[in-house]
């Protein structure tokens, strides 16, 4: 499944938060943040912790993109 975390990074910018801030608040590793920066898959647990820390839904932080063969 192809995902984009552009919404997440835009939200961090809008809230004037640094990546390390959300890592600390959500209890996620910097390596997970690096995976998200490359639009790689991360676990639902990580996404849920981010959503709790930012008081938002998964729809607010990611987009599910159509598969290459569906374009």
As a whole number, the mean pLDDT across the chain is 94
Q: What does the alpha-carbon distance between residue 53 and residue 38 come to, in Å, rounded to a whole number? A: 21
The dihedral over CA atoms of 63, 66, 67, 71, expressed in degrees to the nearest 10, equals -150
pLDDT at 68: 76
In this predicted model, what pLDDT tens digit does every residue of 20-49 receive, in sequence order?
Answer: 999 999 999 999 999 999 999 999 999 999
Q: Where on the phi/psi map is residue 64: left (φ > 0), alpha (ψ -120 to 50), or beta?
A: beta
* Of the options 3.30.70.260, 1.10.260.40, 1.10.1040.10, 1.20.140.10, the CATH number for the domain spanning 2-66: 1.10.260.40
What percent of the chain stands above pLDDT 90? 89
Distance (Å) of CA 61 to CA 21, 44, 55, 70? 16, 12, 11, 23
* Furthest-apart CA atoms within the chain: distance in Å: 38
18 pLDDT tier (thresholds 50, 70, 90): very high
């Amino acid at each position: 499944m192809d995902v984009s975390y552009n919404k997440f990074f835009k939200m961090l910018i809008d809230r004037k938060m640094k990546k390390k801030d959300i890592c600390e608040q959500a209890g996620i590793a910097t390596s997970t943040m690096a995976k998200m920066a490359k639009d790689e898959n991360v676990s639902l647990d990580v996404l849920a912790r981010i959503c709790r820390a930012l008081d938002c839904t998964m729809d607010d932080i990611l987009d599910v993109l159509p598969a290459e063969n569906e374009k």
